[in-house]
Structure formats: structure tokens, C-alpha cells
Amino acid sequence: MTVTRPRPEADWAIEARGLSKAYGSVSVLENLDLRVRRGSVYALLGPNGAGKTTTVRILATLTRPDAGQASVAGHDVVTERSRVRRAISLTGQYAALDEDQTGRENLRMMAALRGHSRRAAARRADQLLERFALTEARGRRVATYSGGMRRRLDIAAGLVGDPEVVFLDEPTTGLDPRSRRTMWKAVGALTAAGVTVLLTTQYLEEADRLADRVAVLDGGRVIAEGSPAELKKTVAAQRLDLTMAGHEAYEAMAARLAGRLLHKAPEELLLGVATDGSAAHVRALLDELDPARAEVERFALHTATLDDVFLELTHE
């Protein structure tokens, strides 16, 4: 009997090798490698101009790379563009909706364009309106929707065709905290259904909460990649924040700690150093740094966040 073995790449919804892109003399991506496992959430972080949106545009077949190869849902983004587009959904930073139609009409129109019958289009529209908490507003014109409602409807429209891979380019920019949490729940529901999500975001808390893996881009290169927990450990799992008693004490301590500092906030007279978080290590640090107990006014343990990772790796 012949046993069919799955291809090694079957686990990967997105693969990119050596992607490069330049606009004139400006290099945007330089030899970028990326692999995203099926059914996971993968976040791209980086300062403005790091290459996040360019990466998404290449993977979504909107821009051709100058060099390198990439596949999405098993299809090459250059030679099999139409197959890639049938397998993906792309939601950009701005909602692309017909404001004169209602929310339900927008989704029914999208479903009809995907080849659904009228009955199937109506059913699919109602399912998505419920998933994104828009059922009560389904009969209102989109022009009356809040920013958060528009973003949710925009993503819902991209899901009409049951894509395998969803690209979300800064999906919650400008949203209030309640709308952001609704979006997070929707992303969680997508991955629970086996959909792969690649998102770019400026909110590090968002990547920390949603992403299985995170890549930090800077200067068109991946400078770090791993789970949020793994990346935090590269900075320090815990940080001891010391609030100094005055400016002189702050400057003196900052000079003594020069190579050990993880965090500085002069306006708050605050300095951060690495610790393992244990009581014994915290006591030892305080005894070492302020034996006279005169310079440190108070202290606090701080769990490392992706903000710390981002600032450390991108030197901002």
C-alpha cells in the first residue's frame, strides 16, 4: 500500500524567502524570511517605515518583490496570483465600504459578488453581522456607523468568501478600547475556526494578547522573531523599577548602572534593572544599589512587555 505523506510545507500558510523591495534608491525590504503556521496569529511589529505594509502588499499580490519568493495558502504570490487572491482576505487601514448602503446590504453585495445565491448571501450576511456584534445596526446606513463599527463591518466583508488567510493591516488604529476588544474577540474566533491571521499593529498590547508568534521588523529586516514570552525573555522576564529620591540621586545611580539599565524615565526619576523577580534577588539588588537606603524612594516589580522588547530592539 502506498502511503501519502504530507508535504513539509503543509504546516505553513505563509512562507517567504529572501524578499527584497526597493523604490528607487530607497530599500524597503532586505532579504526578508517569514513562515506563518496554519491556524495561527502572526504579528508584524516595527517602527514606521520598517517594511510592514510592504510585506503585506507583496503577500497579498498587490506589489511584486524585486527578489525572493513567497507563497500563501500553498500558491506562489507572483505566478499564481489569482489562486492566492481567492484564498485570502485583506483589510487595510481604512474601511472600504459603500456608505449609502446598510451594513446588511454591503455584506449581501459582497456575498453576491462571490457567487452566492440571494438566499445564501442573506444567510452569510446575517452570520457575519452576528459574529461582529452588528446585528442591531444591520438596517442602518454605513454613513451613520461609528469608526469601530465600520472597521468591524470592513473585516466582516472580507470574510464573506471564507478565506484561508486573513491580512489585517493595523485593524484597530483609531478605535476606542471597547471596539478594540470586540475586534480582538473576532480575531480569536477566526483562528478558532482554523483561519490564519497575519496582522500589523502599532499597539504592542494587541500583539501580546493575540499573536502566537511575533516578528520585529526594522530597516526592512526581521531583527527578532518568537512567541511574545520568548521575546520578553530577551530583555528580561522581570524588571525592578527604582524611583529615585531626587535628580542628583537619579543621575548618580544612572551613571553607576550605565550598562545594566533596561529602562530610563528622567521625568519620573525612574530607572529599571533586570531581576529574576524573587524576593531574595530584589533584596540583594536594593542592598547593592542603595546600601545607605537614602537614594531609592520606592521600587516596583515590572513584568517585561513587548513595549520593552520593541524599544530595546529598535533602539527607540
| Residue 1 belongs to a domain | no
Question: Crossing angle, helix 177-192 and helix 147-158, to 10 degrees?
Answer: 10
Cβ pair 14, 71 in contact under 8 A: yes
| Residue 139 belongs to a domain | yes
- Regarding whether 267 and 126 lie in a shared domain, the answer is no
CA dist., res. 76 & res. 193, Å (int)? 24
| Residue 4 belongs to a domain | no
| Residue 199 belongs to a domain | yes
- Regarding whether 259 and 172 lie in a shared domain, the answer is no
| Residue 116 belongs to a domain | yes
Mark which of 181, 200, 226 sits at the end of a domain.
226
CATH number at 188 reads 3.40.50.300
Q: What are the start-end ranges of the H helices in the chain?
A: 52-59, 81-87, 103-113, 118-131, 147-158, 177-192, 204-210, 228-235, 247-256, 279-289, 306-314
pLDDT tens digits, 59-70: 999 999 999 999
Cβ pair 296, 245 in contact under 8 A: yes
Mark which of 194, 226, 258 sits at the end of a domain.
226
- Regarding whether 261 and 164 lie in a shared domain, the answer is no
Cβ pair 212, 186 in contact under 8 A: no
CA dist., res. 304 & res. 276, Å (int)? 11
- Regarding whether 208 and 252 lie in a shared domain, the answer is no
C-alpha cell at 284: 540583594
Closest CA relative to residue 58, chosen from 38, 86, 34: 34
| Residue 57 belongs to a domain | yes
- Regarding whether 219 and 198 lie in a shared domain, the answer is yes
- Regarding whether 120 and 268 lie in a shared domain, the answer is no
Q: What is the pLDDT of residue 2?
A: 41
Buried b (16+ CB within 10 A) or exposed e, 157-194: bbbbbebbbbbbbbbbeebeeebbebbbebbeebbeee
CA 286 to chain centre: 37
pLDDT tens digits, 184-227: 888 888 888 899 999 998 778 888 889 999 999 988 999 999 99
Helix (H, G, I), strand (E, B) or coil at 13: strand
The residues facing 75 across adjacent strands are 72
- Regarding whether 246 and 198 lie in a shared domain, the answer is no
CA dist., res. 206 & res. 183, Å (int)? 10
Residues of the chain with pLDDT under 70: 1-10, 92-95, 235-237, 315-316
- Regarding whether 238 and 210 lie in a shared domain, the answer is no
- Regarding whether 244 and 204 lie in a shared domain, the answer is no
Q: What is the pLDDT of residue 7?
A: 45
pLDDT tens digits, 239-266: 899 999 999 999 999 999 988 887 888 9
The residues facing 299 across adjacent strands are 242
Buried b (16+ CB within 10 A) or exposed e, 232-269: beebbebbbbbbbeeeebbeebeeebeeeebbeeeeeb
CA dist., res. 121 & res. 134, Å (int)? 16
Cβ pair 196, 13 in contact under 8 A: yes
- Regarding whether 19 and 117 lie in a shared domain, the answer is yes
| Residue 104 belongs to a domain | yes
- Regarding whether 149 and 19 lie in a shared domain, the answer is yes
Mark which of 176, 194, 226 sits at the end of a domain.
226
Number of domains in the chain: 2
CA dist., res. 102 & res. 126, Å (int)? 12
- Regarding whether 240 and 173 lie in a shared domain, the answer is no
Domain extent for 279:
233-314
What is the residue type of 21?
Answer: K
Q: Look up residue 62 and give its DSSP letter.
A: S
CATH number at 273 reads 3.30.70
| Residue 3 belongs to a domain | no
